[in-house]
Amino acid sequence: MLNPHTRQRIPPTPTNHMKFIYNDGGKAAAGLKRNTDADRVVRPIAIATGKPYRDIYNIVKVSNHYNDQKEAGEKYIKSLNWHWTSTMQIGSGCTVHLDANELPPGQLIVRISQRLIAVINGVVHDTHDPSQYGSRRCVYGYWSKEIDAITTQHREQGTIIKAKAVAAKMDQNVELQQLSACVETGVITKKQAQQAYQDYLERKKQELRS
């Protein structure tokens, strides 16, 4: 089975742990000691974006309710021109897990049940390991830098464009071979063959424009 986001095979094992690095996102350095629900939003944003913890905390701490804090945090992420990729639709079930083989490389802010989490090049950065209980967590979606999202799209589009270019080149070679054969057998002159080939290229250009 291929993962739709990385185009790589999803391993069959259901207990594939991710690497984990302890990271508080700069909370201690900001002088904040008390643990709050806002930490689940502020910490991953600070880690993935590199923005100061206290600055994000002041934006997110608009309410004592987690959902309000998450909404404020994701508005802030969007303001940084990060791109949201949904990995679960209504009725689709879990299609992507918190697994390095199922997530793209780069800096990600991943949404799992009741929290956001920072994943950098396949490694979880947080104050606790979300996969420590042995099961892969379901990913609802993730935020990534706009340039990373565009690069992924261009890479996929580039593969298609390259394939079309190869096919077009093959068509041109066939056309040249046919015209060369006509010249060798005296059906047309070399000048006529050159004109016919130019007409062929012009038709191809028009087909691409249409």
Say whether both 139 and 203 belong to one domain: no
Determine the pLDDT at residue 187. 72
Say whether both 187 and 98 belong to one domain: no
Q: Is residue 7 part of a domain?
A: no
Say whether both 25 and 94 belong to one domain: yes
Say whether both 194 and 120 belong to one domain: no
Q: Is residue 48 part of a domain?
A: yes
At 140, is the pLDDT very low, low, confident or very high (cuts 50, 70, 90)?
very high
Is residue 33 predicted with pLDDT exceeding 50? Answer: yes
- Nearest-angstrom CA–CA distance, 59 and 37: 14
SS (H, E, C) the chain: CECCCCCCECCCCCCCCCEEEECCCCCCCCCCCCCCCCHHHHHHHHHHHCCCHHHHHHHHCCCCCHHHHHHHHHHHHHHCCEEEEECCCCCCCCCCECCCCCCCCCEEEEEECCEEEEEECCEEEECCCCCCCCCCCECCEEEEEHHHHHHHHHHHHHHHHHHHHHHHHHHHHHHHHHHHHHHHCCCCCHHHHHHHHHHHHHHHHHHHHC
Say whether both 60 and 92 belong to one domain: yes
Q: Is residue 137 part of a domain?
A: yes
User: Which residue has better confidence, 136 or 139?
Assistant: 139
Task: Report how many domains make up the chain.
Answer: 2
40-62 pLDDT per residue, tens: 999 999 999 999 999 999 999 88
69-122 pLDDT per residue, tens: 999 999 999 999 999 999 988 777 888 989 888 999 999 999 998 889 999 999
- For β-strands 123-126 and 19-22, DSSP reports them as parallel
Query: 167: domain range?
Result: 153-209
Query: Smallest Cα–Cα separation from 18: which of 113, 96, 115?
Result: 96
- Per the CB < 8 A criterion, the answer to whether 82 and 144 are in contact is yes
110-134 pLDDT per residue, tens: 999 888 999 999 999 999 988 765 4
Is residue 173 predicted with pLDDT exceeding 60? Answer: yes
- Nearest-angstrom CA–CA distance, 124 and 18: 7
Say whether both 76 and 179 belong to one domain: no
Say whether both 139 and 158 belong to one domain: no
Say whether both 142 and 158 belong to one domain: no
Determine the pLDDT at residue 17. 65
